Amino acid sequence: MAKQKPKTLGELKRKSARLPDVREEMRSNLIKKLEKKGPLFPGLIGYDETVKPGLVNAILCGHNIILLGERGQGKSRIIRSMVDFLDEDIPAVAGCPINDDPFRPICVDCKQKLSELGDELPLTYIPKNRRLVEKLATSDVSTADLIGEVDPIKIARGRTLDDESAIHFGLVPRANRGIFAVNELPDLAEKIQVAFFNIMEENDFQIKGFPVRLPLDILIVATANPEDYTSRGRIITPLKDRFDVQLRTHYPLEKKHEIDIMEQEVRRPVVDGLETHVPQFIKEILAEMTFQARSSPDVNQHSGVSCRVSIRSYEAIMGSALRRSLDYGEKRAVPRITDIESTYPAILGKLELEYEAADRNDGEVVENLAKRAIKVVFDAYFKVDNLSSIVDSFQNGAAAEVSQFLPSEEYMDGYDVIPGLRNAVQTLVDPDSPDEASSAMEFILEGLHLSNKLNRQVKDKKIVYK
Ligand SMILES: [Zn+2]
């Protein structure tokens, strides 16, 4: 049976003489996790040797953290995973808007309650998920939002303006004894940055000219795009100094990690009675497209190319295969090369094209990314010389028609007219499964075309290789 939690300060005192501050609490939970050798930051992929060690150090040292990185590098996930290092719940003074520590309350109301009630001071429990306060910095965030404002209702009830208890606390004080996370820090107006700095450094701030002193206990985690953060004037120097550690996030360095993130984050389109199967080479092509975009001169690299590009295109290509399966009553949806086109709308909204590229047809930019990706993955699986029997049969007059609108079964007679095709398909998938085989055939034919071995024509939504 679970032990009764103390309901008053007096009962709590029988268990402990004081409560840890947030840094002590996170450090001791981190040490417990390290001793158990359990996974730290589960779900944070590709950061084992780069970002995670820095995070562990920062928690050990109780450092305020600034995460620098382009969009879609898991910064929000990092912030949310900081909650794992908090206790399940902590006792606080009941009714306190800033989660006061019952042993040493800092707000006027709780100090007064403590002196009146002593050990009878009633407690409440704050679960860990309520101890992370997150705010997206935008230019219209006000001091009232962040720090607080005078509460007109309290004034109406007879509180005077210079009475601290007339204050309605903002987000930062409400994060007391927890974590305050501010996303895109450089987007805060300078005036707000000053107020934010004061509350962090001096523990004091002013509301409507009235000075308030609150020694808050908060771990701060902020995020910023590296260029915004380092560019002059975007962030006030004293605030920058207040961040003890700066960690650089990054996109996956390996395609394998990009694929792991796709698998972790995908929202699979589900159709009753239909199974979706995505061959490995298709996943690799989608991940490679994102990699290509991250090094493309046509794409604005300052804003970055989020992992969400891979994730959403993964979903879109499954959708395309599902649509075909529904049309033909096939039991399994397997995406093909001709389905890649259906990922373009998902990708385009997430890329910022460079001025010159945007002038061109943006579909063409994405199509080029797809072509390069298919070629890279094809070269990793095949040597063109080993596919000479396929190439020969086309030179001797064979032709093949493919389309995202053709049922899989129609591909199977390809084995009869193109010697060597079956062997090549077999290196990728089960050659007797029409849905998988049609996907693999398209990959091989397109790869040969991109290797300048086959001609390709588009005719009535169909692609003809000759
Ligand atoms: Zn209080």
The CA distance from 351 to 160, in Å, is 53
Dist. CA 95 → ligand 1 center (Å): 8
3-state secondary structure of 223: strand
Task: Label residue 293 exposed, middle or buried (CB < 10 Å: 0-12, 13-18, 19+).
Answer: buried
124 CA → ligand 1 middle, Å: 12
Pick from 27, 35, 32: which is nearest to 56 by CA? 27
What's the CA-to-centroid distance between 29 and ligand 1, angstroms? Answer: 25
- Each residue's pLDDT expressed in tens, for the chain with a length of 466 residues: 457 899 999 999 999 999 999 999 999 999 999 999 988 999 999 999 999 999 999 999 999 999 999 999 999 999 999 999 999 999 999 999 999 999 999 998 999 999 999 999 999 999 999 999 999 988 888 888 888 888 777 666 666 555 677 788 899 999 999 999 999 999 998 888 988 888 877 776 777 677 778 889 999 999 999 988 888 778 888 888 889 999 999 999 999 999 999 999 999 998 998 999 999 999 999 999 999 999 999 999 988 999 999 999 999 999 999 999 999 999 999 999 999 999 999 998 888 888 776 667 778 899 999 999 999 999 999 999 999 999 999 999 999 999 999 999 999 999 999 999 999 999 999 999 999 999 999 999 999 999 999 999 998 889 999 9
In the prediction, which pLDDT does 2 show? 55
**Distance of CA 97 from the midpoint of ligand 1 (Å):** 6
Which residues are found with C-beta within 5 Å of the ion, ligand 1? 96, 100, 107, 110
When computed from its CA atoms, the radius of gyration of the chain, rounded to whole angstroms, is 29
User: Residue 438 C-alpha to ligand 1 middle, in angstroms?
Assistant: 67
Tell how far the Cα of 96 is from the centroid of ligand 1, in angstroms.
Answer: 4
Contacts of 322 (CB under 8 A, 6+ apart): 269, 271, 274, 276, 333
- Please state the three-class secondary structure of 97-141 as a single string: CCCCCCCCCCCHHHHHHHHHHHHHCEEEEEEHHHCEEEEECCCCC
**214: DSSP letter:** -
Note the pLDDT of residue 369. Answer: 96
Residues 6+ apart with CB under 8 A from 106: 98, 100, 176, 214, 215, 216
Q: How far is the CA of 94 from the centre of ligand 1 (A)?
A: 8
d(CA 171, CA 130): 12
pLDDT at 1: 45
pTM score, whole prediction: 0.88
pLDDT for 103 equals 97
pLDDT of residue 158: 63
Q: What is the distance in A from the centroid of ligand 1 to the CA of 119?
A: 16
Q: Give residue 6's identity as a one-letter amino acid code.
A: P
Q: In what order do the strands lie in the sheet with 400-402?
A: 400-402, 462-465, 456-459
Parallel/antiparallel/unpaired status of strands 178-183 and 210-213: unpaired
Question: Rounded to whole angstroms, how far apart are CA atoms 63 and 57?
Answer: 8
Instruction: Write the single-letter amino acid at 435.
Output: D
Instruction: Look up residue 151 and give its two tokens.
Output: 């509460």
Cα separation, 326 vs 114, whole angstroms: 68
Between the CA of 101 and the centroid of ligand 1 the distance, in Å, is: 8
126 CA to centre of ligand 1 in angstroms: 13
